[in-house]
Copies of this chain bind each other. A is one copy, B any other.
Amino acid sequence: MADKINRVVLAFSGGLDTSVILKWLQRTYGCEVVTFTADLGQGEELGPARHKAELMGVKPEHIFIDDLREEFVRDYVFPMMRANALYEGLYLLGTSIARPLIAKRQVEIARQVGADAVSHGATGKGNDQVRFELGYYALAPDIKVIAPWREWDLTSRTALIDFAEKNQIPVPKDKRGESPFSTDANLLHTSSEGKVLEDPWAEVPDYVYSRTDDLVQAPDTPEEITIDFKSGDGVAVNGEALSPAALLTRLNELGKRHGIGRLDLVENRFVGMKSRGMYETPGGTIYHAAHRAIEQLTLDRGASHLKDELMPRYAELVYNGFWFSPEREMLQAAVDHSQAKVDGTVRMKLYKGGVHITGRKSPHSLYSEKVVTFEDDAGAYDQRDAEGFIKLNALRLRLLGRRDRS
């Protein structure tokens, strides 16, 4: 197990678990630990992470704390949204999409500091270990990967806390008892799973929700907003130009207020089991609906249907951790090719958990009132063409009918 490691870059949140891992890596591998803490909009202070790392002997120049929020939304969330990706028809992939960016930055730091290994705090039953490690291996094929949860013997909460105490790692009071569920958060979403959520018939308790207000308590009046798109990406809310991260932040505020984006899901993990999770994706849910609406006006049918057919595959690849794979990149190339004219404005009402599209317009609209109108169209469309269209579409069915139904 314990190959000789000199220096390892750890994805370090500053919480109890990754603090224990930090210490365990130092002990087990006798190696230097470099910490990397990313601000992906999870809404936690990052200062304490630096302090803790220092306390455990990490050299100041080996403590990396990066604000990756803009990169996260611009290069990961938005490209995925261009594909209208939904895993298993419903899940907006909030956790999945953050992992490749963390892996990529860890590998960059490993190169910068001359580390020969990377490590993460994901458990051995989940998808995140796969996503992290496929990212590491794709970007740095010969790097060593240390996954403490699959290696160590700290298999119970008690053992973990014992280890912490023996090693002078402060254990916050609220971590002493069993947490009733586990969460992951970033600018796109908060996920909750485990413990009280493990019975898929039991309703999610109110106290689990953290990113969205209760629907019944939400405002009794719908709020109308607009999102502007340019080349398939959101650029403004209510007419105000915003950077990608600022735009998603704004939509998160709006979504939170109206209780938007709650999802109670039983999903299929890549590692082969079903799990039950609760996701809150307030801004992402609004954005997804709006992006579909602007595509309705600006995408040709052929492009649109091809996108719909490719989407489940795309979503599966992201979910399974294959962001840095040729096939995801190929699908992205196809999707991106379609987005050049996906420009315009979508108007919608937010109300009690719902996003209700009320209008869309575009300088590049393919909708032609002149062609579609119930009124006289002045020759824009010749209804007699429909006869030939139907006749030739029917020809094979008629030949078949003569054979099989006569």
| Residues of chain B with a CB closer than 8 A to A364's CB | 403
**Residues of chain A from 304 to 325 with CB closer than 8 A to chain B in the complex:** 304-309, 311-313, 316, 322, 324-325
Interchain CB contact under 8 A, A139 and B198: no
| A contact residues, range | 35 or more
One of A27-35, A50-58, A124-132, A160-168 at the interface = A124-132
Does A359 touch B at the CB level, under 8 Å?
A: yes
Please name the residue on chain B nearest to A348 by beta carbon.
B264
Which A residues, 371 to 401, have Cβ-Cβ distances below 8 Å to chain B?
A: 371-376, 381-401
Indicate if A88 sits at the interface (CB-CB under 8 A): yes
Interchain CB contact under 8 A, B215 and A351: yes
Q: Smallest Cβ distance from A168 to chain B, in angstroms?
A: 26
Q: Which residue of B lies closest to A137 (CB)?
A: B394
Bound together, the chains give a CA A86 to CA B147 distance in angstroms of 39
Q: How far is the CA of A375 from the CA of B96 in the complex (A)?
A: 23
Tell whether A356 is near chain B: CB-to-CB under 8 Å.
Answer: yes
A353 to chain B, nearest CB (A): 5
Tell me, yes or no, whether A41 is within 8 Å of chain B by CB. no
- Looking at A64-72, A235-243, A334-342, the stretch in contact with chain B turns out to be A334-342
- Does A11 sit within 8 A of B, measured CB to CB? no
Residues on the B chain within 8 Å of A272, using CB? 301, 392-396, 399
Among listed A17-25, A245-253, A273-281, interface-contacting one = A273-281
A171 and B386 CA atoms in complex are apart in Å by 29
- Cβ distance A228 to chain B, nearest Cβ, rounded Å: 13
Q: Is the CB of A400 within 8 A of B300?
A: yes
Q: Is the beta-carbon distance between B134 and A397 smaller than 8 angstroms?
A: yes
The answer to whether B140 touches A399, judged by C-beta atoms less than 8 angstroms apart, is no
Q: Inside 8 A of A293's CB, which chain B residues have their CB?
A: 266
Task: Give Cα A327 to B302, complex, Å.
Answer: 5
From B273, B302, B334, B361, contact of A372 by CB (8 A)? B273
Asked if residues B200 and A361 are in contact (CB atoms below 8 Å), the reply is: yes
Partner of A401, one of B138, B182, B335: B138
Closest to A320 in B: B393
Given A198-B372, A387-B388, A262-B356 contact (CB < 8 Å): yes
Instruction: Assess the B142–A271 pair: CB atoms within 8 A.
Output: no
Q: Which residues of B contact A203 (CB under 8 A)?
A: 347, 358-359
Known: A330-B303, A337-B329, A389-B389. A137 touches B266 (CB 8 A): no
Complex alpha-carbon distance, A404 and B341, angstroms: 9
Which chain A residues (83-134) contact chain B, with CB distance < 8 Å?
84, 88-90, 123-125, 129-130, 133-134
Q: Closest B residue to A204 by CB, please name it.
A: B358
9 intermolecular pairs with C-beta atoms under 8 Å apart: A140-B401, A147-B386, A198-B374, A200-B359, A264-B356, A273-B396, A308-B312, A366-B396, A386-B392
